[in-house]
Amino acid sequence: MTPDQWLERLSRIEKEFFSVPGGEDPGRLEQKYLGRKGELALLLRELSSFSIEDKKRLGQTGNALKNKLQENLDSRKTSRGAAASEARPALDLALSGYPYPRGSVHPVTFTANKIIDSLGKLGFSLEDGPLAEMDYYNFEALNFPPHHPARDMQDTFYLNLKDEKNMDYLLRTHTSPVQIRTMKSRKPPVRAISFGKTFRSEAVDASHSFVFHQMEGFYADKNVSMADLKWTLETFIKDLFGSGAKIRFSPSYFPFVEPGAQVEVSCVFCGRNGAAGAGQKPGGEEGKCPVCKGSGWLEMLGAGMIHSEVFKACGYDPEKVSGFAFGAGIERFAMLLFGIRDMRMLYENDLRILKQL
Answer yes or no: do 214 and 186 share one domain.
yes
Predicted local confidence at residue 287, as pLDDT: 66
Answer yes or no: do 212 and 342 share one domain.
yes
For residue 237, is it within any domain?
yes
List the CATH number of the domain containing 214. Answer: 3.30.930.10
Answer yes or no: do 76 and 119 share one domain.
no
Answer yes or no: do 135 and 184 share one domain.
yes
Tell me the mean pLDDT in the region 174-189. Answer: 92
Answer yes or no: do 284 and 203 share one domain.
yes
Largest CA distance in the chain: 112
Where does the pLDDT of residue 356 fall: very low under 50, low under 70, confident under 90, or very high at 90 and above? low
Q: Cα separation of 213 and 111, whole Å?
A: 11
Answer yes or no: do 72 and 116 share one domain.
no
Look up the domain containing 76 and give its range: 3-87
Q: Cα separation of 134 and 48, whole Å?
A: 80
Tell me the mean pLDDT in the region 37-54. Answer: 81
Amino acid residing at 19: S
- Whether the per-residue pLDDT at 90 is higher than 70: the answer is no
Q: How many CB atoms lie within 10 A of CB 99?
A: 6
Tell me the mean pLDDT in the region 325-331. Answer: 92
Percent share of the chain, pLDDT over 70: 89
Residues constituting the chain = 357
Amino acid residing at 298: L
For residue 228, is it within any domain?
yes
Q: Cα separation of 23 and 354, whole Å?
A: 45
- Lowest-confidence range among 86-90, 247-251, 349-353? 86-90
Angle between helices 52-87 and 26-33 (to 10 degrees): 170
Q: Cα separation of 230 and 248, whole Å?
A: 9
For residue 99, is it within any domain?
no
- Specify the higher pLDDT residue, 22 or 182: 182
- Whether the per-residue pLDDT at 166 is higher than 80: the answer is no
Where does the pLDDT of residue 226 fall: very low under 50, low under 70, confident under 90, or very high at 90 and above? very high
Q: How many CB atoms lie within 10 A of CB 229?
A: 24
Tell me the mean pLDDT in the region 94-101. Answer: 75
Tell me the mean pLDDT in the region 57-77. Answer: 84
Phi, psi values for residue 323, rounded to 5°: -175, 170
Separation in Å, CA 48 to CA 3, 9, 55, 56, 58: 12, 16, 7, 11, 11
Answer yes or no: do 165 and 75 share one domain.
no
- Whether the per-residue pLDDT at 275 is higher than 60: the answer is no
For residue 96, is it within any domain?
no
Q: What domain count does the chain have? A: 2
Q: Cα separation of 292 and 272, whole Å?
A: 9
Q: Is-contact 19 13, C-beta < 8 A?
A: no
For residue 300, is it within any domain?
yes
Predicted local confidence at residue 230, as pLDDT: 94
Q: Answer yes or no: pTM beyond 0.85.
A: no
Phi, psi values for residue 142, rounded to 5°: -100, 15
Answer yes or no: do 285 and 142 share one domain.
yes
Q: Is-contact 137 181, C-beta < 8 A?
A: yes
- Whether the per-residue pLDDT at 278 is higher than 50: the answer is no
**Residue 157's closest CA among 168, 165, 141?**
168
Predicted local confidence at residue 284, as pLDDT: 46
- Whether the per-residue pLDDT at 285 is higher than 80: the answer is no
Answer yes or no: do 181 and 73 share one domain.
no
- Per residue, the 3-state secondary structure of 62-107, as one string, reads HHHHHHHHHHHHHHHHHHHHHHHHHHCCCCCCCCCCCCCCCCCCCH
Burial of 165 per CB tally in 10 Å (0-12, 13-18, 19+): exposed
Averaged pLDDT of the chain: 83
Q: Cα separation of 22 and 32, whole Å?
A: 16
Phi, psi values for residue 173, rounded to 5°: -90, -10
